[in-house]
């Protein structure tokens, strides 16, 4: 099939397909006498694998080492190890994101608990001074309807 049909079947732009070919991810291409690219049916599966893996968080470099020269030669152990390592990476990222969210919610709570006699600038100094002192924040409590903004 020609690149236009492959692009239509995969939903990828022809330029993206050429890019994957140029960096060595898509090796299933032959040149016809007129210079046109010709792709086998298996190219659809390879491009779908690349797209799915990228959506799962794999980088192009990771994909380059993961995809075998010939899809009939998958190395079961290597594939499983790579997938398990990616799951661990995602779990670590989730943990860092959860910590960031907790810190931000504590900061929001601290800002929203502005004493009535402070203006926004004084409240900002109050919050910043607590952050600089390294005082541990209590678990974030979401303010109700009567909360005051900085």
Q: What is the mean pLDDT of each run of 10 residues along the chain (150 residues)?
A: 94 95 88 87 92 91 81 79 90 96 89 86 85 53 45
131 in a structural domain: yes
Please check whether residue 80 lies inside any domain of the structure: no
Cα dihedral sign, 129-131-137-143: positive
Whole-number pLDDT of residue 44: 94
Q: Are residues 63 and 107 in the same domain?
A: no
What is residue 32's predicted lDDT score, i.e. its pLDDT?
84
50: domain CATH number is: 1.10.1660.10
**pLDDT at residue 133, as a whole number:** 59
pLDDT score for 64: 84
Phi and psi torsions of 119, nearest 5°: -85, 175
Domain range enclosing 134: 87-150
């Amino acid at each position: 099939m020609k690149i236009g049909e492959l692009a239509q079947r995969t939903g990828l732009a022809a330029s993206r397909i050429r890019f994957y070919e140029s960096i060595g991810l898509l090796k299933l291409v032959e040149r016809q006498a007129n210079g046109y690219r010709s792709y086998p049916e298996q190219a659809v599966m390879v491009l779908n694998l690349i797209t799915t893996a990228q959506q799962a968080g794999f980088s192009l470099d990771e994909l380059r080492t993961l995809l075998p020269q010939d899809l009939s030669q998958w190395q079961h152990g290597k594939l499983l190890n790579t997938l398990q390592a990616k799951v661990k990476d995602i779990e670590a990222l989730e943990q860092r994101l959860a910590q960031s969210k907790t810190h931000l919610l504590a900061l929001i709570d601290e800002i929203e608990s502005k004493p009535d006699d402070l203006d926004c600038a004084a409240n900002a100094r109050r919050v910043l001074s607590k952050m600089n002192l390294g005082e541990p924040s209590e678990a974030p409590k979401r303010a109700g309807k009567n909360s005051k903004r900085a």
